[in-house]
Amino acid sequence: MSETETGDVTLEDSLPLPGPTTTVLGPHVDIEGDVFIDGDVMLIGRISGTLRCKRFVLDREGELEGMLVAETAAIWGYVNADMYAPVIELHAGCSVEGAAYHERFILDREAFFEGKSRRYDNPQAMAPTG
């Protein structure tokens, strides 16, 4: 990912590569329930429930409530959830409430985080399975 002059990563740098394993859930998507996607996800809409995917990007307009289990998470929007991912990035302008279970946690200056952060070698294995 490239960095701006201030050292911040831009949203465009975090976007999943277009391809057959990328799912874009647009601004008109509102999902209640559990979602499993065997690929990358960009969420511009809203999910209330559990999301399991590979690489996750939450757009500035996106909302996630519940639980996230992913390989990486780049957050730009609103989260009220527990997140389980080896790499979690909270970017400028995001608002996150909940727990972050990670190997690496990156918090931009202008990001809001209220909750707990716990480092684990395999955070995805910590996620509830029910």
The residue whose two tokens read 């949203």 is 11
- For 37-69, the DSSP string reads -SSEEEESSEEEEEEE-SEEEE-TT-EEEEEEE
pTM: 0.86
**Whole-number pLDDT of residue 4:** 45
Q: Domain ranges in the chain?
A: 11-116
Going residue by residue through the chain (130 aa), what tens digit of pLDDT does each one get? 444 444 566 656 655 555 677 899 999 999 999 999 999 999 999 999 999 999 999 999 999 999 999 999 999 999 999 999 999 999 999 999 999 999 999 999 999 999 999 999 999 999 998 6
